[in-house]
Amino acid sequence: MLPHPASPRRIRHLLAVALIALACSAPYAMAEDATASRSEMIRSLLPTVVNIAVRKDVVTKVNTASTSASGGGHSEVKAYVGSGFIIDPSGLIVTNYHVVENAFDITVTLSDGTLLPGKVLHASRVADLAIVQVKASHPLTPVQWGESNKLRIGDQVFAIGNPLGLGTSVSGGIVSGLNRDAQESPYDNFIQTDAAINHGNSGGPLFDMEGKVVGVDSAMVSPTESFSGLGLAIPSDDARFVVERLLKYGWIRPGWVGVKVQQVTRDIAEAMGQTQPVGSLVSWIMPDSPASKAGIEIGDVILKYGDDTPSDERALLRDIGQTDVGKTVNMTVLRKGEQQVLPVTVAPWPRQRWEERDAPTAALQPMGKIPPDLGLTLTAIPKEQRSKLDLADGLNGVLITKVLANSDAARRGAVSGDIILRVFDKPVASPAEVLHGIAEARSEKRPFVLLLVLPKVRTIPGPRWVTLRLTEGAG
């Protein structure tokens, strides 16, 4: 017996039920697809992030009457961890300056577990940024820079780093504040986020939901030693400017006009007869500076810099610093109640004066100093001393100038005046090359480093091989 055909009314009812069911399930399917897509994107970014382990020679002060007067204390090797991200396939990595400051040994761990010795290429203390270089056997995966100036409070972000040395970890949150002043420098412009940032996250990337770097995780604000909901990141626009300048010039080479300014507060505004506190008040002008030549005077209030109206004195200083050298910018000032437009030609910040406030790379990584647990201090061999040291023509080496008492080197007979010719099978001609060889041995977990040494006192002619113990887990 054949079933009765469904009535048109019955068909319409069934169709409506199906459409409702489809409409209800669609958001869940879309949410699942979005979650899967986001997870896939995050996993694809893991190879762009690295863990950084450093060893530093830390002087611990002893608070006693006998040592405080002479600045005494004792030195010990300590280990620290941080993060970084790859910006070039050749092995250029961005991290915080404070992660690698004064480090004599830097080990970079890639996402696949590969350990590589790192070397600081350039750095800026003021910007708290450094570029570390590694040499890998294959091209590395770089990040994509994002535009931090497009961030808005409430935007979703996530951080990838090495919190507390646990290994690569991901945390998510939102942008909870912008243009924060942590009083770290006159240019502070931090992104505030509630994505978890702990010790070890420093130098790692803050990503937007397109997988682009919009910040460099740099600090946390907390009454305790752990994360409390307030993390700070350097905006990518500022970080990218610094990194590009460091790579191009070896220093930031910021624009300079030679003015000292301070924010116009409500009290200052009332004292000057202003109805609202706006602009930056000029408190000093450097003699023979671009500002002086342009006619800017002490007491002027800078309202505009070109087409930009800086929100505060930090924004004004950032605008000046990021201006191309030689460019002429119209500066709008308020003087005695009247606005004036004064063209100012931006000059480079005087190099020597800048380095008084920003540590050059040479001061960052003491290349002539071997890790303290080995007990050696080295120097390149001056040309005038080659004949005195009885070095044959074409033979290079690195001179030991000091051996720490009771060190492993001292116990093995090293003395000041010995010359290191090779580290393993590689000839060396500079302290940096010796350091690199030692760092490679550490990264390969070798218990000893092998040195070919030309002794100062030679009972038997020629050099000899010497081993020095690489202390495991020092610090």
Catalytic residue IDs: 98, 128, 202
CA distances to 74, 102, 278, 337, 402 from 77, in Å: 10, 11, 50, 60, 18
CA distances to 258, 263, 271, 273, 297 from 336, in Å: 22, 18, 13, 10, 11
Of the candidates 436, 437, 396, 438, the residue with the CA atom closest to the CA atom of residue 419: 396
User: Is the distance from CB of 161 to CB of 169 less than 8 angstroms?
Assistant: yes
User: Is the distance from CB of 146 to CB of 234 less than 8 angstroms?
Assistant: no
N- to C-terminal Cα separation, the chain: 89
DSSP string, 190-219: EEEE-S---TT-TT-EEEETTS-EEEEEEE
CA distances to 23, 86, 366, 373, 385 from 416, in Å: 82, 40, 19, 17, 14
- Joined together, the tokens standing for residue 211 give 């997988």
- Joined together, the tokens standing for residue 139 give 């091209």
Cα(353)–Cα(269) distance, integer angstroms: 32
User: Is the distance from CB of 214 to CB of 168 less than 8 angstroms?
Assistant: no
User: Is the distance from CB of 258 to CB of 226 less than 8 angstroms?
Assistant: no
Q: What is the CA radius of gyration of the chain?
A: 30
Cα(231)–Cα(438) distance, integer angstroms: 36
Cα(474)–Cα(78) distance, integer angstroms: 7
